[in-house]
A and B are shown apart, each in its own frame.
Chain A
């Protein structure tokens, strides 16, 4: 069974204070690892897909990286508008149609 564990559960940063979110996973035959952003009262919104170890993706202040066991979402010089819950998910080969989600990291960036 695919499993995803995210840490920390919550992270409070000052504006401009860079940090990283962690996503550890176990999956049989990784088809993709995904990062989503979820704002209160809304559905998750896609950020990145990573397919193989060593791959990196960037978008504005966010950078996602992938190893064989975990992924990191690096946030550089965050702004208050980056405050949200960040969800990690994996899609595996045994049941390729579905994504299994972690519980998320709630990020709060104070001005």
Chain B
């Protein structure tokens, strides 16, 4: 199993540009999570999906952030327009069915907004 795959690994962009982060969860996992990690705030949950349906997006900072999961094997997190304060490491994680909350994380996307 290849694990959770995220792309790109690094993204450098200028303020105001659109940024799209991508995630392929582990096959057969029902849940997908997007987390953001910074030194100041630690690991924060942004949004999670169950069977491709968004369940809780209360962690999404503002309307500039959006996430989609068009099918069981792909999800995107989009920031438009990006701002310097969005600079962070964004992690995607997946896990199997309810009752087994162990998370499998990808390697993350290091985002730098200049």
Of the candidate stretches B14-22, B68-76, B77-85, B102-110, the one touching chain A is B102-110
Q: How large is the interface on B (under 10, 10 to 19, 20 to 34, 35 or more residues)?
A: 20 to 34
Give the chain A neighbours of B35 by CB distance below 8 A.
Answer: 101
Count A-B pairs with CB separation below 8 Å.
54
Whether the pair B42, A46 counts as a contact (CB closer than 8 A) is no
Give the chain B neighbours of A19 by CB distance below 8 A.
Answer: none
User: Is A111 part of the binding interface, using a Cβ–Cβ cutoff of 8 Å?
Assistant: no
User: Is A76 part of the binding interface, using a Cβ–Cβ cutoff of 8 Å?
Assistant: no
Q: How large is the interface on A (under 10, 10 to 19, 20 to 34, 35 or more residues)?
A: 20 to 34
Give the chain B neighbours of A24 by CB distance below 8 A.
Answer: none
List residues 88-114 of chain B with CB under 8 A from any CB of chain A. 91, 93, 98, 101-108
Question: Per-residue CB proximity of A24-49 to B under 8 Å, as 1/0?
Answer: 00000001101010000111111001
Partner of A34, one of B42, B101, B106: B101
Question: Per-residue CB proximity of A73-111 to B under 8 Å, as 1/0?
Answer: 000000000000001010100011111111110000000
User: Is B45 part of the binding interface, using a Cβ–Cβ cutoff of 8 Å?
Assistant: yes
What secondary structure prevails in chain B residues at the interface with A? strand
Give the chain B neighbours of A98 by CB distance below 8 A.
Answer: 33, 45, 48, 56
User: Is B55 part of the binding interface, using a Cβ–Cβ cutoff of 8 Å?
Assistant: yes
Are A34 and B48 CB-contacts (below 8 A) given A87-B43, A95-B56, A101-B42?
Answer: no
Whether the pair A46, B103 counts as a contact (CB closer than 8 A) is yes
List residues 35-64 of chain B with CB under 8 A from any CB of chain A. 35, 42-43, 45, 48, 50, 55-56
Give the chain A neighbours of B98 by CB distance below 8 A.
Answer: 96-97
Are A42 and B48 CB-contacts (below 8 A) given A49-B102, A87-B43, A97-B31?
Answer: no
Give the chain B neighbours of A41 by CB distance below 8 A.
Answer: 107-108
Give the chain B neighbours of A87 by CB distance below 8 A.
Answer: 43
Partner of B102, one of A34, A95, A96, A101: A34
Are A97 and B103 CB-contacts (below 8 A) given A42-B108, A43-B108?
Answer: no
Residues on B facing A (Cβ under 8 Å): 4, 31, 33, 35, 42-43, 45, 48, 50, 55-56, 91, 93, 98, 101-108
The 3 closest A-B pairs by CB, nearest first: A43-B105, A103-B42, A101-B43
